[in-house]
Amino acid sequence: ESRIDFAMRRAVSRRPNDKERHLLVDMLALNLAEYEQDQEAARQLIAVGQAVVANDLHAVELAAWTNVARALLAAHETMVRN
The pLDDT, as a whole number, for residue 82 is 61
pLDDT tens for the chain, 82 residues: list them. 599 999 999 999 999 999 999 999 999 999 999 999 999 999 999 999 888 888 888 999 999 999 999 999 998 888 776 6
Task: Output the pTM of the full model.
Answer: 0.87
The pLDDT, as a whole number, for residue 78 is 83
Written as one letter, the residue type at 42 is A
Alpha carbon distance, N-terminus to C-terminus of the chain: 33
**Helices 39-47/59-74 angle, 10° precision:** 60
Output the CA angle 61-50-2, nearest 5 degrees. 30
Q: Can you say whether residue 13 is alpha, beta or left, with left for phi > 0 and alpha for psi between -120 and 50 degrees?
A: left
